[in-house]
Structure 1
Amino acid sequence: MEHSKFSLFSFTGKMKILHLSWMAFFITFVVWFNFAPMLEMVKSTLGLSNQEIKTLLILNVALTIPARVFIGMLTDRFGPRLVYSALLALCSIPCFMFAFADTFLQAAIARFLLGFIGAGFVIGIRLISEWFPHNQLGTAEGIYGGWGNFGSAAAAFSLPTLAIVFGGENGWRYATALTGLMSLLFSIVFYLNVADTPKDSTYFRPKHLSAMEVTSKGDFIFLLIMKIPMYAVLALLAWKLSPSGINMIEQDVVYVIDAVLIAIYLLEVKQVWQVNKNIFTTPVEPIHQYKFKQVAVLNGLYFATFGSELAVVSMLPLFFSDTFTLTPVMAGMVASSYAFMNLMSRPGGGILSDKFGRKTTLIALTAGLSLGYLLMAQVNSSWPIGLAVTAVMACSFFVQAGEGAVFATVPLIKRRMTGQIAGMTGAYGNVGSVVYLTILSFVSYQTFFYVIAATAVIGFLTLFFLEEPQGEIAEINADGTVTMINVS
Structure 2
Amino acid sequence: MSSSHLNLLSFSGKTKILHMSWMAFFISFVVWFNHAPLMMVIAKTLGMSSSEIKTILILNVALTIPARIVIGILVDKFGPKRTYSALLAVGSIPCFMFAFATSFEQLALARFLLGFIGAGFVIGIRMVGEWFPAKQVGIAEGIYGGWGNFGSAAAAMALPTLALIYGGPEGWRYAIASTGVIALIYSVIYFFSVSDTPKGSTYFKPKKAGAMEVTSIWDLFFYIVMNIPLYATLTLLTWKLSPEGVSLLSNFTAICFYIGIWILFFYNVYKIVHVNEEHLQHPIDKIHQYKFKQVAILDLAYLITFGSELAVVSMLPMFFFETFHESKGISMVEAGLLASGFAFMNLVARPGGGWISDKFGRKLSLTIFILGLSSGYFLMAQINAEWSVTLAVILTMCCSFFVQAGEGAVFAMVPLIKRRMTGQIAGMVGAYGNVGGVLFLTVLSFVSPSFFFMVIAGAALFALIAVQFIDEPKGHMAEVQEDGTVEMIELN
TM-score, length basis structure 1: 0.99
Q: Report how far residue 350 of structure 1 moved.
A: 0.3
Determine helix, strand or coil for the equivalent of 2:468: helix
Where does 1:189-228 land on structure 2 (aligned, <5 Å)?
Answer: 189-228=189-228
Q: State the Cα deviation string for residues 269-324 of structure 1 (Å, max 9, x = none).
A: 11111111135421211110000000000000000000000000001111011111
Q: State the Cα deviation string for residues 323-355 of structure 1 (Å, max 9, x = none).
A: 111322111111101000000000000000000
- For 1:447, the equivalent position in structure 2 comes to 451
- For 2:46, the equivalent position in structure 1 comes to 46
Structure 2: how far apart are the matches of 1:329 and 1:438? 25
Structure 1: how far apart are the matches of 2:460 and 2:69? 23
Structure 2: how far apart are the matches of 1:121 and 1:372? 26
Q: Does 1:158 align with 2:158?
A: yes
Structure 2: how far apart are the matches of 1:287 and 1:137? 22
Task: Note if contact 1:27-1:183 (Cα within 8 Å) is conserved in structure 2.
Answer: yes
Task: Note if contact 2:481-2:487 (Cα within 8 Å) is conserved in structure 1.
Answer: yes
- 1:33 partner letter: F
Q: Report how far residue 162 of structure 1 moved.
A: 1.1
Task: Note if contact 2:4-2:135 (Cα within 8 Å) is conserved in structure 1.
Answer: no
Task: Note if contact 1:2-1:131 (Cα within 8 Å) is conserved in structure 2.
Answer: no
Structure 2: how far apart are the matches of 1:27 and 1:209? 28
Structure 1: how far apart are the matches of 2:99 and 2:141? 32
Structure 1: how far apart are the matches of 2:298 and 2:368? 15
Q: State the Cα deviation string for residues 74-120 of structure 1 (Å, max 9, x = none).
A: 00010000000000111001001101110011101100010000000
Determine helix, strand or coil for the equivalent of 2:180: helix
Structure 2: how far apart are the matches of 1:53 and 1:159? 18
Where does 1:238-387 land on structure 2 (aligned, <5 Å)?
Answer: 238-325=238-325, 326-387=330-391
Determine helix, strand or coil for the equivalent of 1:475: strand
Please point out which of 464, 467, 484 is paired with 2:468.
464
Structure 2: how far apart are the matches of 1:167 and 1:437? 35
Structure 2: how far apart are the matches of 1:88 and 1:241? 28
Structure 1: how far apart are the matches of 2:157 and 2:444? 26
Determine helix, strand or coil for the equivalent of 1:473: strand
- For 1:438, the equivalent position in structure 2 comes to 442
Structure 2: how far apart are the matches of 1:3 and 1:127? 18
Q: Report how far residue 166 of structure 1 moved.
A: 1.2
Where does 1:419-434 land on structure 2 (aligned, <5 Å)?
Answer: 419-434=423-438
- 2:308 partner letter: S
Where does 1:40-189 land on structure 2 (aligned, <5 Å)?
Answer: 40-189=40-189
4+ residue runs over 2 A deviation: 1-5, 278-281
Structure 1: how far apart are the matches of 2:434 and 2:216? 28
- 1:426 partner letter: G
Q: Report how far residue 154 of structure 1 moved.
A: 0.6
Q: Does 1:8 align with 2:8?
A: yes
Moved more, 349-358 or 236-245: 236-245
Structure 1: give runs of 5+ residues left out of the alignment: none
Structure 1: how far apart are the matches of 2:405 and 2:369? 7
Q: Report how far residue 249 of structure 1 moved.
A: 1.6
Determine helix, strand or coil for the equivalent of 1:465: coil
Q: Report how far residue 2 of structure 1 moved.
A: 5.3
Q: Report how far residue 250 of structure 1 moved.
A: 1.6
Structure 2: how far apart are the matches of 1:63 and 1:155? 20
Task: Note if contact 1:160-1:172 (Cα within 8 Å) is conserved in structure 2.
Answer: yes
Structure 2: give runs of 5+ residues left out of the alignment: none
Structure 2: how far apart are the matches of 1:442 and 1:57? 18
Task: Note if contact 1:30-1:151 (Cα within 8 Å) is conserved in structure 2.
Answer: yes
- Identity in percent: 60
Q: Report how far residue 129 of structure 1 moved.
A: 0.6
Determine helix, strand or coil for the equivalent of 2:487: strand
Structure 2: how far apart are the matches of 1:182 and 1:392? 33
Q: State the Cα deviation string for residues 381-401 of structure 1 (Å, max 9, x = none).
A: 100111110010000000000
Q: State the Cα deviation string for residues 431-468 of structure 1 (Å, max 9, x = none).
A: 00000000100000001000011111011000111000
Structure 2: how far apart are the matches of 1:401 and 1:3? 24
TM-score, length basis structure 2: 0.98
Determine helix, strand or coil for the equivalent of 2:256: helix
Please point out which of 476, 479, 483 is paired with 2:483.
479
Task: Note if contact 2:307-2:434 (Cα within 8 Å) is conserved in structure 1.
Answer: yes
- 1:358 partner letter: R
- 2:331 partner letter: T
Aligned length: 488
- 1:194 and 1:280, CA in 2 relative to 1: closer, same or farther beyond 3 A? closer
RMSD, aligned α-carbons: 0.9
Structure 1: how far apart are the matches of 2:411 and 2:167? 41
Moved more, 366-375 or 243-252: 243-252
